[in-house]
Amino acid sequence: MVIDRQKALLYGSAAALRLVLFFAFPSLPDLLTGCVEISTPVTNFKRLQEGLFLYINNVSPYDGGVYYQAPLLLPLFALIPQSLFTILTSFIYILLDLLAASALIDIAESSESGSSRLFISPRRNLKWDSIAIGAAYLFNPFAIATCIGRPTSLFTTCAILFSISNAVSRKPISSMLALGIASYLSLYPVLLLPPLILLCYDRIERDTKTPSPMFAFASKHIALFFGSIAWLLYTSYILTGGSWEFLASTYGVHLLLPDLTPNVGLWWYFFIEMFDSFREFFLGVFWLHLGGYVGGLCIRVRKQPLFIITCLLGIFAIFKPYPSLSDTSLYFAMLPLYRHVFPLMRYTFFAMATVLYTSLLGPAFYYLWIYAGSGNANFFYAITLVWSLGLSEIVADSLFAVLRDEWEVERPEMKGKDVRQI
């Protein structure tokens, strides 16, 4: 009962804060919607509104190259009366944030981060309460700004957290369906499939002395995952009047990067400067780089599949084609689950200071470039490089801490001793 009261207080205060920001400052949502740190070409709420206008007027929303989002979002928002559109969309985004926090609390309560099937950390008792982890997400300024800015990436965030929550709750079918929805909305979550299958398998076989064959389990759930995506794509095909043109606009934009609107990522400036003859080659290189982490992490950190997912979310926030603060807030939501390895991290102050520094200077540099005219693209891209450096340091340092934690279990005599690379 105490926990329920704590949850009610947490959700109520988080919702109240967002309601105040939505309605006490009516110009704030549109201001944040226009920020390149929050909205990207594939998640922008204004582009969703343009696509919705075309859809309501029986025109293909993919004509004109403005709308790059999933077709099934259109009938969802088309149900909202125009007179109440602003109010009800605000409630939808607040509800999404609360649902994401609820899934995150369930993940924290499973204790999977400190005690998995193949590894039990000796530091597992050093952890934060699940309510505190939920509060860290709901009151994270990045998460609040994302909610007020209303990008559609919040739907993906919620689906990813629900897929992980169902995995740790021993519901692999629901987990695959949720990941299928996330992958349908944004292409990159498909890379979470291997570690998520490992997580589902470990949770189900945790208390079994004779585990079932891994190959059969994986094959069944891979088929379920792609079956759910196929069903969503076919539904979209029917919705768009029997046309597959949405595939190029929804997923081709991720793969081919036709829209080079500035964002906090590394791709846009690189491909602005790239000669067209080399474009396809480097697109392949960038995607291979992003996908290459999956196999390596699944092999090296096999004992802790939840951390593989957490680490990949941090990598996506840095290296995906169109990253935003939504991706960073999702990574920062998962990171507190590993409170027990924080003492093993070496560069926490440097990394967090870098993230704070770039969070303040990024909007200023963009303003100098676009509005004041006293800077150029190098100003903003330079600060996004520093932003990526800070996030990379957090990802690498947390990976070092987890591997050090495993190593000290394997070699107890090395506990507390310095490690040097030779």
Paired residues of 120 in beta bridges? 115
Give the span between the Cα atoms of 283 and 252, in whole angstroms: 12
Alpha carbons 243 and 193: distance in angstroms, whole number: 28
Judge whether residue 199 has pLDDT over 60.
yes
pLDDT for res 257: 92
Residue 389, burial from CB neighbour count under 10 angstroms (0-12, 13-18, 19+):
middle
Distance CA(396)–CA(380), nearest Å, equals 24
CB contact set of 324 (below 8 Å; sequence gap of 6+): 37, 38, 39, 40, 43, 146, 151, 153, 263, 264
What are the structure tokens assigned to 14, written together?
């988080």
| Whether pLDDT at 422 is above 70 | no
Q: How far apart are CA 242 and CA 250, in angstroms?
A: 16
pLDDT at 3: 53
Does position 23 have pLDDT exceeding 50, yes or no?
A: yes
354 contacts 386 by C-beta, under 8 angstroms: yes
Give residue-wise pLDDT tens across range 361-389: 999 999 989 888 887 888 899 999 999 99
Global pTM reads 0.95
Name, in order, each residue with C-beta under 8 angstroms of 185's C-beta and a sequence gap of 6 or more: 69, 70, 73, 152, 155, 156, 159
Instruction: Please tell me the distance from the alpha carbon of residue 315 to that of residue 293, in angstroms, as a whole number.
Output: 8
pLDDT over 60 at 2, yes or no: no
Question: Mean pLDDT, the chain, as a whole number?
Answer: 92
CB neighbours of 73 closer than 8 A, spacing ≥ 6?
Answer: 48, 152, 155, 185
Q: How far is CA 227 from the centre of its chain?
A: 23
* CA–CA distance, 294 with 197 (Å, rounded to integer): 13
Which of the four pLDDT bands, split at 50, 70 and 90, describes residue 1? very low
119-137 per-position pLDDT tens digit:
999 999 999 999 999 999 9
Cα–Cα distance for residue pair 106/165, rounded to 1 Å: 6
pLDDT at 411: 83
Owner of token pair 């990526």: 388
- CA end-to-end span of the chain, whole Å? 54
Task: Express each pLDDT in 302-333 by its tens digit.
Answer: 999 999 999 999 999 999 999 999 999 999 99
Residue pLDDT, tens place only, 44-86: 999 999 999 999 998 889 887 889 999 999 999 999 998 899 9
Is the CB of residue 232 less than 8 Å from the CB of residue 143?
no
Q: Are 193 and 312 in contact (CB under 8 A)?
A: no
